[in-house]
Amino acid sequence: MAFALTDPEHGYYTTQQPFGRSGDFITAPEVSQLFGEMIAVWCVEQWQKLGCPNAFVLAELGGGKGTLMADVLRTTRKIAPAFFAAATLAMVEISPILQAAQQQALQPFAKGQWHTTIDSIPQDTPLLLFANEFFDALPIEQYIKTAEGWHERGVDTTGFVAGAPVTPPALFLDAPEGSILEHSPATTAIFTQLCERLQNQKGAMLIIDYGYADHALGDTLQAVKNHQYVPVLENVGKADITAHVNFAALEDIAVEKKLSPTLSTQRDFLHQYGITTRLAGLLKNAAAAQQEELMSQYQRLVGVEGMGALFKVLCVSGGSRF
């Protein structure tokens, strides 16, 4: 999975432009500006809770084409000029193609430093960070329950196969035969590093992704190409491969690091930060066709049949250095 997505020569994210209607999938920032505007409101609220520092890092992981950060900067420049002026922008992106797209999108704001890892994000001021559909693309391990017990799930020339024996968490020791359990060591490592950053720097982070709120069994590995699901082992390097995020595991890490996690659905988060009020303002000045499009975009973001329930939003805050 890591090779298929990030290999410098053959990887999907390093060689393709996956986002948007001309790509393979559409993320929430491309659905509507309303999404980025609500993230902006959250950012300003967290900055205010920090005491409105006159210098801080505003970071995004895996920023796609730069649409989300552009909406956040556009909105904060308008509603909170002091926030905008105080922000040092840090974009973490491994893809040269997407870095170039982000630089073009953010050029009007005259801000931006690009990083390929979290390590080089500045550490001398508080940190506000968000990541939309970032963790779902980190590689996972799968374990399958067979008649002989739990085994790592591997791949050979015939497809998926049972590999070396493993010991699962006690919660799933007696799961029925055929059960699949997923774990992402990369997610654990990166999220732990982010929590340690908050411990040292103070601040907050917002993780938005599709996933599940409780520890659970299930095969969520999937591939998408041209806005359609395709077999995972076909089109390797030419299709997006993802898995649902285990938000319960992320919450456990945050609590272990003595930070404060709050989990909600995307629907509840967007409503909490004023999406209906903003929508009403846009509808008031829109023609009939635009009103219909705005309502369709809104429903896609918050509808329980769309992104509203499947997508979760984890806010983590804390730290005491500054």
pLDDT of amino acid 15: 81
Helix pair angle (185-201, 247-256), 10° resolution: 40
Q: Who contacts 195 (Cβ-Cβ below 8 Å, separation ≥6)?
A: 253, 254, 257, 259, 316
What gap in Å lies between CA 176 and CA 284, rounded to an integer? 55
| H or E stretch at 228 | strand 228-230
| H or E stretch at 185 | helix 185-201
pLDDT of amino acid 232: 93
What gap in Å lies between CA 139 and CA 62, rounded to an integer? 14
As annotated, the residues of the chain forming the CATH 3.40.50.12710 domain(s) are: 2-138+184-230+239-318
Q: How many residues does the chain have?
A: 322
Pairing of strands 127-132, 56-61: parallel
| Both structure tokens of 165 | 């024996």
CATH numeric code, 2-138+184-230+239-318: 3.40.50.12710
What gap in Å lies between CA 276 and CA 270, rounded to an integer? 8
pLDDT of amino acid 23: 63
pLDDT of amino acid 141: 97
What gap in Å lies between CA 143 and CA 264, rounded to an integer? 28
pLDDT of amino acid 321: 45
What gap in Å lies between CA 241 and CA 19, rounded to an integer? 14
**In 111-147, which positions are buried (b, 16+ CB within 10 angstroms) versus exposed (e)?**
bbebbeeeeebeeebbbbbbbbbbbbbbbbebbbbee
Strands in 62-202 per DSSP E? 87-92, 113-115, 127-132, 141-146, 149-156, 159-165, 180-183
pLDDT of amino acid 8: 87
Which residue has tokens 């990083």? Answer: 115
Q: Who contacts 246 (Cβ-Cβ below 8 Å, separation ≥6)?
A: 182, 183, 184, 187, 211, 212, 215, 216
What gap in Å lies between CA 43 and CA 57, rounded to an integer? 11
Q: Which of 62, 69, 57 is nearest to 245 (CA)?
A: 62
CA 149 to centroid of chain Cα atoms: 34
Measured from the Cβ of residue 174, the count of other Cβ atoms closer than 10 Å reads 9
pLDDT in 10s for each residue of the chain, 322 residues = 999 998 888 888 888 776 656 666 788 999 999 999 999 999 999 999 999 999 999 999 999 999 999 999 999 999 999 999 999 999 999 888 899 999 999 999 988 899 999 999 999 999 999 999 999 999 999 999 999 999 999 999 999 999 999 999 999 999 999 999 999 999 999 999 999 999 999 999 999 999 999 999 999 999 998 888 999 999 898 899 999 999 999 999 999 999 999 999 999 999 999 999 999 999 998 999 999 999 999 999 999 988 999 999 999 998 654 3
Tally helices (H) and strands (E) across the chain: 13, 15
pLDDT of amino acid 21: 63
Burial-class residue 97 by CB neighbours within 10 Å (0-12, 13-18, 19+): middle
Measured from the Cβ of residue 13, the count of other Cβ atoms closer than 10 Å reads 20
